[in-house]
Amino acid sequence: HEYVVHAAAALPIQVAKKSIYSVNIDGTRNVLEACLHHKVKRVIFISSTAVYGVPKHLPEMETSPLYPIGFYGESKVAGEKLCLEYAKKGLSMNIFRPKTFLGTERLGVFELWFEAIFKGRRVYILGKGNNKYQLLAVTDLVDAIEKALFTKVDGEIFNVGAKDFGTWREDLGAVISYDKSKSRITSLPTFPSQLILGVLEKLHLSPIAAWHYKTMPVDSYVSIEKAEQLLDWHPKKSNQELLLESYLWYKKNRREVKNRIGNTHRVGWNFKVLNWVSKF
């Protein structure tokens, strides 16, 4: 047990504060305590850009103020604080704040869009879709983790995201065009949609959490300069490349995905009430 990557987390869609805090705070404390006891060489903690909340200063820097949204964001801030406490006790570690990361077998909320594109239906987005939204390829995250495990750099927090990213309209539009789908991107009014999604979230009828619907319609991206400079990490995939790669995987494995309903990013989510929207 020389190296530990702590990536386990209860997601925003699991809603209940007790569940999220138990896994993301108490669970993190247990992992860190065990690592300290067993004298692990290096720990990597996967946090989230959810700690920043709705972006107020762009690009978000590692030193930007934290305004977490919901229990998930709050739990990630608490997890980071625990990591820094254990670093003071002598535990070697680095922390990552990744943007929403996507790849084969990791779909999450993107399944809703991919299914709409597959069937040639409308692709609904909050707002006009002209806002820039940075994503991250799972493969690029893995590369960053590997570099952070075996570097002399210690006790640092790093933002990680794609270097090349556009607006929702540009990036989703590229997938639609490549697939020659009949889908068209359709804007939903931001404020009314957020109110409705808020109600559905509270009724446990939608997997789209506050973190999603509050940040989706605004510019959201982070600076990755620190990781580039200190870790010599350079993301290889753009938003469009990682979205297309993920969509093509979904298209090939669609039937299997739909049979694996659950509440992790590796299975198809049960969209319940939201399913009717994609039929228009």
pTM: 0.91
Catalytic positions: 72
- Helix %, strand %, coil % of the chain (to 5): 50, 15, 35
46 and 33 Cβ atoms separated by less than 8 Å: no
Exposure pattern of 231-269 as b/e (b: 16+ CB <10 Å)? Answer: bebebebbbbebbbbbbebbeeeeeebeeeeeeebebbb
Domain containing residue 261: CATH number: 3.40.50.720
**Cβ contacts of residue 231 below 8 Å, gap of 6+?**
144, 147, 148, 151, 153, 158
Name the domain count of the chain.
1
Amino acid residing at 243: L
Mean pLDDT computed over every residue of the chain: 91
What is residue 159's three-state secondary structure? strand
Nearest-CA neighbor of 159 among 8, 29, 52? 52
Host domain of residue 218: 3-279
Enter the DSSP assignment of 51: G
28 and 39 Cβ atoms separated by less than 8 Å: no
| pLDDT value of position 108 | 80
| pLDDT value of position 106 | 82
159 and 224 Cβ atoms separated by less than 8 Å: yes
CA distance 227 to 230: 5
Q: CA separation (Å) from 187 to 30, 71, 129, 191, 260? A: 44, 28, 7, 12, 29
Q: Output the tens digit of pLDDT for each of the chain's 280 residues.
A: 699 999 999 987 666 788 899 999 999 999 999 999 999 999 999 999 999 999 999 999 999 999 999 899 999 999 999 999 999 999 999 999 999 999 988 888 899 899 999 999 999 999 999 999 999 999 999 999 999 999 999 999 999 999 999 999 999 999 999 999 999 999 999 999 999 988 988 887 777 888 889 999 999 999 999 999 999 999 999 999 999 999 999 999 998 887 775 544 444 444 444 454 444 4
